[in-house]
Amino acid sequence: MTIDWGTQFAPRLRQAKGSAIRELLKLLDDPGIVSFAGGIPDPALFPRAAIAAAAQRILGDPRRAAIALQYAPSEGYAPLRRFLVQTMASRGVACAVDNILITSGSQQALDFIGRLFLSPGDMVLVARPTYLGALQAFSAHEPVYGKLPTTGDNRTPEPYAATGDAGAPRAKFAYAIADFQNPTGESLTLAERQDLVASAAALGLPLVEDAAYDQLRYDGAALPSLLALDTARAGGIDAGGVLYCGTFSKTIAPGLRIGWIAAPRPVIDKLVLIKQASDLHTSTFDQMVLHDVATTLPPEHPAAIRQSYRARRDAMLGALDAYFPQTVRWTRPEGGMFIWVNLPAHLDAEALLRRSLAEVKVAFVPGASFHADGTGRNTLRLNFSLNPEEVAIAGIRRLGGVLHRALAA
């Protein structure tokens, strides 16, 4: 009897298919493509020499190598957790080692949070648009999505409280990216952060803060994280309701897959159980290398990343001003990796992508996949961190040409 895989798989997975993003990424192998699609750091900025030196120090010492290559606690490598306590303190949050779980990148943090809170039919509040990978992680549990209501250019959570007492299922958590959101590049103002934290606290609603980009600010003054505000409000991290997801993928290297969650202890205690059943622990070797690099890297390293990406953002914005039609609108982010483009309402970004690839070999991500409700067909996301300025400018010029032709048709 041949196996009927369709009926063996769990129902939620029977219809699952790969996303447009995955197909797009496959195109990156074509050297003729200019891709604005990925959320990919510039590999020239990876601290390669520091990572190589760290690997040699660790493996050159038999005692440390025996730890690096062995099974390890699910919570994470203790010195890295202690380092992250200091990191969080420098970001305005007093916490203890038991408030930190090491994850395999912040994608795993989002996956674990979905597993911890969600059953089918539960509600999650998200912005529209929001990070596609968060939607993928949460959607595995078949939630319904409520809107984290936003006004005033997609940033004010004012009518947020209303969502809590609608007839809808009670929300299990709200997911927000306060700094340089993926995909829009926009940030919450201080007042908006305070409102969001106060609203969530009034509702007894956990807030999941995705802080993937918070070290990538190019203009303006840093603002406190939702976790910092909530910890101050509640009198301590354990009395609060924010789960902060951090990562080294943007400031050191994503290939090492090291992120963390800083959260109240009752949350971390459960997440450790999920981590243990998921993959036992994150690579001990990578955790030790990361810890060595993070503690020895010169302080000018993040500044160099910011300087490079600032220049790339400025070049992209200049090219958009020069080459995109007047009827197209886009964000002007103070940080992060992305610019968000709104096309005239009658244009479809997926159709534009097919045309752009065929005519000028320029890739981007159509915006619909960032919308939990399938809207946003006339939007698209452009990454500015990967391409050197001259490549990006040429790509935007070519994409602008396609747009002009599409609008003239």
Of 39-47, 177-185, 344-352, 358-366, the window that binds its own copies (rule: CB under 8 A) is: 39-47
User: Total number of residues binding its own copies (CB under 8 A)?
Assistant: 93
Q: In this chain, which of 255, 298, 325, 344 binds its own copies, going by CB under 8 A?
A: 255
DSSP reduced 3-state for 91: coil
The verdict on 381 binding its own copies (CB under 8 A) reads no
CB burial string 166-183: b at 16+ within 10 A, e below:
eeeeebbbbbbbbbbbbb
> In sequence order, what E strands does 120-215 have?
123-126, 144-147, 171-176, 207-210
Asked if 252 contacts 46 with a C-beta cutoff of 8 angstroms, the reply is yes
Asked if 230 contacts 193 with a C-beta cutoff of 8 angstroms, the reply is no
**CA-to-CA distance for 397 and 384, rounded, in angstroms?**
14
The verdict on 376 binding its own copies (CB under 8 A) reads no
User: Is 289 or 380 the residue whose CB approaches its own copies more closely?
Assistant: 289
Q: In this chain, which of 147, 233, 270, 397 binds its own copies, going by CB under 8 A?
A: 270
Q: How far is the CB of 246 from its own copies (least distance, A)?
A: 15
The verdict on 407 binding its own copies (CB under 8 A) reads no
Asked if 276 contacts 74 with a C-beta cutoff of 8 angstroms, the reply is yes
The verdict on 292 binding its own copies (CB under 8 A) reads no
Q: How far is the CB of 178 from its own copies (least distance, A)?
A: 19
Q: How far is the CB of 196 from its own copies (least distance, A)?
A: 15
Query: Is 158 buried (19+), middle (13-18) or exposed (0-12) by CB count in 10 A?
Result: middle
Q: How far is the CB of 379 from its own copies (least distance, A)?
A: 22
Closest CA to 343 of 377, 371, 369, 313: 377
**Binding residues among 57-76 for its own copies as defined by CB under 8 A:** 59-60, 62, 65-74
**Binding residues among 93-122 for its own copies as defined by CB under 8 A:** 103-105, 107-108, 111, 115-119, 122
Q: How far is the CB of 218 from its own copies (least distance, A)?
A: 22
User: Is 41 or 335 the residue whose CB approaches its own copies more closely?
Assistant: 41
**Binding residues among 136-165 for its own copies as defined by CB under 8 A:** 136-137, 139-141
**CA-to-CA distance for 155 and 150, rounded, in angstroms?**
5
**CA-to-CA distance for 87 and 109, rounded, in angstroms?**
18
**Binding residues among 181-220 for its own copies as defined by CB under 8 A:** 201-206
The verdict on 296 binding its own copies (CB under 8 A) reads no
Q: In this chain, which of 27, 33, 40, 161 binds its own copies, going by CB under 8 A?
A: 40
